[in-house]
Structure 1
Amino acid sequence: MHESHSTPSERAVALATEFLTRVWGPAHDLEAIDELMTEDYRIWSGGALVAGREPFKEWVRQFQAIYGDAHTEIRETFANAAGDRVVSRWYNTGVNKGIFGLPPDGRPVSFTGIAIWRVEGGRLAECWVERAALESYRSLTE
Structure 2
Amino acid sequence: MNTTRRIADPVQLSLSFLERVWGPSHDLDAIDELMTEDYTITTGGISITGRNEFKEWVRSFQQKLTDAITVSQETIRNESGDRVISRWICTGKNNGIFGLLADGREVTFTGIAIWSVRDNRLAACWVERSALELYQKLKHEHS
CA distance in structure 2 between the partners assigned to 1:103 and 1:60 by the alignment: 20
**Which structure 2 residue ranges, 5 or more long, are not aligned?**
none
Q: How many residues align?
A: 136
CA distance in structure 1 between the partners assigned to 2:43 and 2:81 by the alignment: 22
User: 1:14-73 deviations in whole A, cap 9, x for unaligned?
Assistant: 000000111011110001000000000001011110000000000000000100111112
Q: How does 1:107-126 map to 2 (within 5 A)?
A: 107-126=105-124
Q: Say whether 1:28 aligns with 2:26.
A: yes
Partner secondary structure for residue 105 of structure 1: coil
TM (normalized to structure 1)?
0.93
Q: Give the letter for the 2:45 counterpart.
A: G
Question: Percent sequence identity over matched residues?
Answer: 60
From 83, 87, 92, the counterpart of 2:90: 92
Q: Give the letter for the 1:119 counterpart.
A: V
Residue 2 (structure 1) shift: 6.3
Q: Say whether 1:70 aligns with 2:68.
A: yes
Dislocated runs of 4+, deviation >2 Å: none
Q: Say whether 1:48 aligns with 2:46.
A: yes
Root-mean-square deviation over aligned CA pairs: 1.1
CA distance in structure 1 between the partners assigned to 2:70 and 2:21 by the alignment: 9
Q: How does 1:6-21 map to 2 (within 5 A)?
A: 11-21=9-19
Q: How does 1:122-137 map to 2 (within 5 A)?
A: 122-137=120-135
From 126, 136, 139, the counterpart of 2:137: 139
**Which structure 1 residue ranges, 5 or more long, are not aligned?**
none
Q: Give the letter for the 2:32 counterpart.
A: D
- 2:102 corresponds in structure 1 to 104
Partner secondary structure for residue 15 of structure 2: helix
Residue 138 (structure 1) shift: 1.2
Q: Say whether 1:81 aligns with 2:76.
A: no
